[in-house]
Amino acid sequence: MSYQPPDFPPFDPQLAAALRARIDGKAKPPGSLGRLEELAIQIGLVQRTQTPRIERTLAYVFAGDHGLNHEGVSAYPSAVTAAMVATFLAGRASVNALAAACGVEVRVVDAGVDADLTAHPGLIAAKIRRGSRNAAVEPALTEAEVEAALARGGAIAAGSDAEALIIGEMGIGNSASAALVMHRLAPAGLDDCIGAGAGHDAEGMARKRQVLARAAARSDATRPLEVLRQFGGLEIVMMAGAFLGGAAAGKLMVVDGFISSAAALAAARLSPGLAARLVFAHASTERGHHGLLASIAARPLLDLQMRLGEGSGGVLVAPLLRAAARLMTETASLDDVLAGRIVP
């Protein structure tokens, strides 16, 4: 494949020291705001400034269908993907309600929905094809499709005028694809990567494990691009491209739950310096998520026992991002307070 991911050098140590001194010099005991201070420093490093700014935040919900779903890896039919896209665009999904409460705008990206979607102001038409192929019997994607999805995701994120981007997803069957990606790229035992997804009874879980074992046995891929070709869904590949392209453009990139994290894992394996530039929103209860996070030393901000996807956990951290940035720019220094230079 000819795709070349962006390179992410280490953060500037002088800027890191200046940001630490700046936050420690605020009118508060050093370290008293805990991880919020770490987040403020990270935002400054990503934006390459001592006066970071997070005002506009966008959530991108990347949508795609999966040939694997023909094997019954989900409790729901693939048609639900297009139905949920319509629900997002109507503003009636859970992520819409949470985003509205947190001051986040929602956009839907058609990466590979197996339907013809009607044009809408909130819809970005980026379809590569109508769903991936059945990874249990053949590669899910071609090399050209992987490269096109990575490039389109990167362009969407880099072209956004928001400072922070939340990367979510919708795709019936995509927890199966994400489990295979994690299995090869974490790496981890396949059974440790397979969860209930949108919901399965014992019989459904047994079927899902059998199908994914068959898919894994079909290919021994371990290189990131080849793993995405063999097992990836179009929304997962396009999310990986978004993480890379957005971070390269200086955006603060927010990872949602298990499927979003699988895309972030693939992106981080393509360009190892990326991981330090990502904000991991929450710890999902989907089986495998904690192990996936550990594989890239990620520390999520929240643990609310959620496992919905859609970017729902990501939008909840938007107020934390804005608050952390404002600590750097709006909190008085201790020197100014002690010198009486702060007046009401």
* Active-site residue list: 310
Q: Dihedral sign for Cα 316, 319, 321, 324, please.
A: negative
What's the token pair of residue 148? 């096109």
Query: How many CA within 13 A on the CB side of residue 131?
Result: 21
For residue 227, what are its two tokens? 């793993």
Q: Which residues contact 9 (CB under 8 A, 6 or more apart)?
A: 273
Residues 236/185, Cβ–Cβ less than 8 Å: no
For strands 164-170 and 105-112, give the pairing.
unpaired
- If DSSP codes are grouped into helix, strand and coil, which group holds residue 270? helix
Sequence-distant (6+) residues with CB within 8 A of 2 are: 147
Using alpha carbons only, give the angle 259, 265, 270 rounded to the nearest 5 degrees: 135
Asked if 236 contacts 167 with a C-beta cutoff of 8 angstroms, the reply is no
Q: Are 228 and 144 in contact (CB under 8 A)?
A: no
Q: Rounded CA gap, 325 and 137, in Å?
A: 48
